[in-house]
């Protein structure tokens, strides 16, 4: 059975796994799971993955449910270039340091703002909670400052001069803000904006391909939610 990736390109970690496979020309069976339609909660999917989450990797019965573990498994099994997850101790430590920081910082801040502006109004029909949005924007702004002053200070990428999975994960979270027209929050920082552009350049055309759903959400937001 071929390597299978269950994913939705609306999901930030899904985009990361998808791009890593595509950029390195690794053959896989693409299994799209539509989160907006609730397909991740369907019994047929939960038979494959009891947690009902994407991304989800199935390699001939060997199943992996966590995004960082998925990325490391892809790298290890396919012996991908060392820069994706460096073997050199200091570079690897920088990657690991960010991987441990990002879930409760980059990911949490961006996800919560996206939820407040797009997902909660869509699924509840309630107006945007502007007070909650302000708090989320403040968290994103604080996170951006930390990225600039610590993780990216004097560097092109998290681990130095070469791209790693830390960069993929981080930038996929930031560009989620494009979907709710809040990307200017990171573009205000020349350092962080340059980081995003560096990752785009290193990963295109896969990056643009993976962003299709976010561009669509962005158009919908501008025509519907922004008017509420």
Tens-digit pLDDT profile for residues 115-148 = 999 889 888 989 999 999 999 999 999 999 999 9
Task: With cut-offs at 50, 70 and 90, classify the pLDDT of residue 173.
Answer: very high
Query: Span 93-121, mean pLDDT?
Result: 96
User: What is the residue-averaged pLDDT of the chain?
Assistant: 94
Residue 2 has pLDDT above 90, yes or no: no
Residue 79 has pLDDT above 90, yes or no: yes
Q: Of 169, 215, 171, whose CA–CA distance to 193 is shortest? A: 171
Residue 227 has pLDDT above 60, yes or no: no
pLDDT at 221: 63
Domains and CATH numbers, the chain: 3-80 (3.40.30.10), 89-227 (1.20.1050.10)
Residue 64 has pLDDT above 80, yes or no: yes
Pair 225, 125: CB distance under 8 Å: no
Distances (CA, A) of 7 to 148, 168, 180, 190, 228: 30, 16, 21, 32, 31
Helices 165-174 and 89-101, packing angle to 10 deg: 30
The CA distance from 180 to 128, in Å, is 12
Pair 99, 166: CB distance under 8 Å: yes
The CA distance from 211 to 183, in Å, is 14
pLDDT at 76: 98
Residue 177 has pLDDT above 70, yes or no: yes
Q: Of 216, 149, 144, whose CA–CA distance to 174 is shortest? A: 144
Residue 225 has pLDDT above 80, yes or no: no
Task: With cut-offs at 50, 70 and 90, classify the pLDDT of residue 222.
Answer: low
Q: Of 5, 228, 207, 205, whose CA–CA distance to 125 is shortest? A: 228
Partner residues linked to 6 by β-bridges: 31, 56
- From first CA to last CA, the distance across the chain in angstroms is 48
Query: Span 197-211, mean pLDDT?
Result: 96
Q: What percent of the chain has pLDDT over 90?
A: 86
The strand pair at 29-32 and 62-64 is best described as unpaired
pLDDT at 218: 65
Edge to edge, what strands does the sheet with 29-32 contain? 29-32, 3-7, 56-59, 62-64
Query: Span 34-57, mean pLDDT?
Result: 94
Query: Span 93-108, mean pLDDT?
Result: 98
């Amino acid at each position: 059975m071929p390597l299978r990736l269950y994913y939705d390109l609306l999901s930030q970690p899904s985009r990361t796994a998808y791009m890593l496979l595509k950029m390195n020309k690794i053959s896989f069976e693409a299994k799209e799971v539509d989160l907006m339609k609730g397909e991740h909660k369907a019994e047929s999917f939960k038979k494959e993955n009891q947690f009902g989450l994407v991304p989800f990797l199935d390699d001939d019965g060997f199943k992996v449910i966590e995004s960082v573990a998925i990325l490391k498994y892809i790298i290890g099994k396919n012996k991908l270039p060392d820069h994706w997850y460096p073997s050199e101790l200091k570079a690897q430590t920088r990657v690991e340091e960010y991987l441990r920081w990002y879930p409760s910082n980059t990911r949490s801040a961006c996800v919560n703002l996206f939820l407040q502006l797009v997902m909660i109004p869509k699924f509840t029909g309630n107006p945007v909670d502007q007070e909650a949005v302000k708090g989320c924007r403040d968290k994103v702004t604080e996170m951006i400052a930390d990225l600039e002053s610590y993780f990216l200070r004097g560097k092109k990428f998290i681990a130095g001069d070469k791209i790693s999975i830390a960069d993929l994960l981080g930038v996929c979270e930031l560009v989620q803000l494009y979907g709710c027209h809040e990307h200017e929050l990171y573009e205000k920082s020349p350092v962080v904006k340059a980081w995003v552009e560096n990752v785009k350049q290193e990963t295109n055309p896969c990056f643009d391909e993976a962003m299709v759903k976010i561009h669509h959400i962005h158009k919908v937001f501008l025509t519907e939610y922004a008017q509420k």
